[in-house]
Structure 1
């Protein structure tokens, strides 16, 4: 059973990627997780690592699979759909074709996931003409439910989209949970939330190309969890995952 503890469970991250809790950080505009007031919040602060800005990425061509360069799916549970998700995998800038079969050794693949709580307002994709769940009033996290094979340690989100969806106080905390990545959306004060049909782009980078779609992604919305597919890399012996520190996948 998927429980709320999934997004809050203890995490292990490379020491070089960790931020120490600053007891002197008492700035009035700090978000809830920038000033630790409980042991749990201190743990979350220590585990988070710096995130990259999606707008700063300079990506090359996308991998073209059976469904084209982008895969449009939905994140759902037994009640219904709670999000639409558009995913793609891109090669580095300068590559006009992104084909793992011919890509040079050392190619870094960027996995991009655009998540729309509820639905994406496109009647031809994802949930169709509308979400078959209740209206999403609050989405608080997006995460992987499987290990991030080949994860380089670089991940982030669209800070511009986060501000547009919530406000300037929004803070997205990126941590590792059970070998996969978790983005916790902390809306801060003000009452506004990441909610219905507000796109938010998340990304992570891997040394491994996707093997195909897998049920490896999840959203927390309206105090429940919903899962669905997206491009996902196959485990390869000897390839490291930054979420598991110095160990290799499968160890």
Structure 2
């Protein structure tokens, strides 16, 4: 897979039902985003490599794993210039599982890794980057990605489409691709679209057959043309575990 596959391209984020209604109507569907065909070979490659995405709001999750830091891990995504985002992460078992304990979970349990990313800060002084410890105002964030292979990745991945629409507007386009076994969520506001920017939370998720082994520096955001990295729950490699990115 080459660098073309990480480029952002537009794809439809409205539901199939909304698209069908729009196709039958004389008026354009204002809730649907635009879908354009690839105009270059690189765009065609990236569109072909894009993973099917789900909506976070459609997930049915059970209890969260409770680790040394509790049910959620908070931190920052940093560069040498400072903190560019807060990140709050957790890992949940399927619906109906409570407690969520990998030591007693049955074979075949699917774990959902959830990451809520706030460019700049989350407006809470006592969490994440906090007051006075964030970068200059984040005017444009263009991707959230993993920096390490997604061990045990089932191929199920997505984000909160409602949050994307709130942050970016009607042209909210997020393409999910793989690079070297890792997952990349590329955010494209479209022509004249709003940007994913300061204090606009976005929830991303992916599912794995493996539970987290602990927080690891495995995640990053590209904001203000700068890559900033930090830690979140991450599974250790295991013999026999698959990775849909590979």
Q: Does TM-score exceed 0.5, indicating one fold?
A: yes
Offset at 1:130?
A: 3.9
Residue 222 of structure 1: aligned partner:
224
SS, match of residue 67 in structure 1: coil
Residue 114 of structure 2: aligned partner:
112
Offset at 1:192?
A: 1.0
- The number of equivalent residue pairs is 222
Do the aligned partners of residues 164 and 131 (structure 1) sit closer, same or farther apart at CA in structure 2, a change above 3 Å counting?
Answer: farther
Q: TM-score normalised to the size of structure 2?
A: 0.86
SS, match of residue 210 in structure 1: coil
Offset at 1:231?
A: 0.1
Taking the aligned partners of 1:219 and 1:212, their CA distance within structure 2 comes to 20
Taking the aligned partners of 2:114 and 2:4, their CA distance within structure 1 comes to 24
Residue 78 of structure 2: aligned partner:
76
1:27-67 CA-partner distances (Å, limit 9, x unpaired):
99864x73212222222111102101000001000000111
- Among 167, 170, 175, the residue aligned to 1:173: 175
Matches within 5 A, 1:120-199: 120-199=122-201
Unaligned runs of at least 5 residues, structure 1: 1-5, 12-26, 245-251
Q: TM-score normalised to the size of structure 1?
A: 0.84
Do the aligned partners of residues 212 and 73 (structure 1) sit closer, same or farther apart at CA in structure 2, a change above 3 Å counting?
Answer: same
Residue 17 of structure 1: aligned partner:
none
Taking the aligned partners of 2:62 and 2:36, their CA distance within structure 1 comes to 35
Unaligned runs of at least 5 residues, structure 2: 7-27
SS, match of residue 103 in structure 1: coil
- Among 27, 41, 48, the residue aligned to 1:39: 41
Taking the aligned partners of 1:43 and 1:186, their CA distance within structure 2 comes to 17
Asked if the contact 2:77/2:231 (under 8 Å) is kept, the reply is: yes
Taking the aligned partners of 2:4 and 2:168, their CA distance within structure 1 comes to 25
Asked if the contact 2:76/2:86 (under 8 Å) is kept, the reply is: yes
Residue 204 of structure 2: aligned partner:
202
